[in-house]
Amino acid sequence: MAHKPRKRFGQNFLVDDQVINQIISTIAPKSGDNIIEIGPGKGALTFPLVQYLEHLNVIEIDRDLISILSEYDNKKITIFNSDALAFDFNHFSEKIRIVGNLPYNISSPLLFHLLSYRENIIDMTFMLQKEVVERIVAPPGSKSYGRLSVVIQAFFDTELMFIVPKESFDPQPKIESAILYIKTKSTPLVQNLKPLEDIVKLAFSQRRKTLKNCLKSILNQSQTRIDLSQRAEMLSLENFVTLMNDYEKQNRN
- Cis? peptide before 171, omega within 30° of 0: yes
The parts of the chain modelled with pLDDT lower than 50 are: 1-10
As a whole number of angstroms, the distance between CA 204 and CA 215 comes to: 10
pLDDT for position 66: 85
pLDDT for position 41: 85
| pTM listed for this prediction | 0.90
pLDDT for position 73: 58
Q: Which residues contact 75 (CB under 8 A, 6 or more apart)?
A: none
pLDDT for position 7: 43
pLDDT for position 253: 60
- What domains are there in the chain, each with its CATH number? 7-184 (3.40.50.150), 193-252 (1.10.8.100)
As a whole number of angstroms, the distance between CA 253 and CA 251 comes to: 6
pLDDT for position 8: 43
Strand bridging mode 56-60 / 35-38 = parallel
pLDDT for position 5: 41
